[in-house]
Amino acid sequence: MNIRVLAIDDSRTMRDLLRAALEKAGFWVATAEDGAEAVEQLEAAAPDVIITDINMPRLDGFGVIEAVRGSRCAATVPILVLSTESSPEMKNRARMSGATGWIVKPFDDARLISAIRRVARV
């Protein structure tokens, strides 16, 4: 079964890079340009894994994590944070909000794909 990924990042370049790497690995990919758009398409996308940036307009990554964890349709979906941020405080806040893991940008395709396969529940 294909792993369905929802990738959220306000950078078009980063969304394109994620889509290219993940589709090449055989994943189905939906993208959103910020947290608000991601929450709107959460039920329709039905992701197996969510990848989110932290710093975004309208709704940041922490808001995404909290919205997903509070949703009926995706409360248990693994969430990987993909961010340039790397402070222990930010990582801890994400973990306390319900994030599954943290990857620092720039990402390595193979490590990201491995992390997705490890956390996906399909």
CATH number for 109: 3.40.50.2300
Please give the C-alpha separations between residue 27 and each of 13, 18, 36, 57, in angstroms, as whole numbers: 19, 11, 23, 27
Q: Total structural domains in the chain?
A: 1
Whole-model pTM: value is: 0.96
CB neighbour list of residue 60: distance below 8 Å, 6 or more residues apart = 35, 54
pLDDT of residue 56: 95
DSSP 8-state code for residue 113: H
Please give the residue range of the domain that contains residue 90.
4-119
**Where are the alpha helices (H) located in the chain, listed in sequence order?**
12-24, 35-45, 61-69, 88-97, 109-119
Q: Is the pLDDT of residue 122 over 90?
A: no
pLDDT in tens, 1-60: 589 999 999 999 999 999 999 999 999 999 999 999 999 999 999 999 999 999 999 999
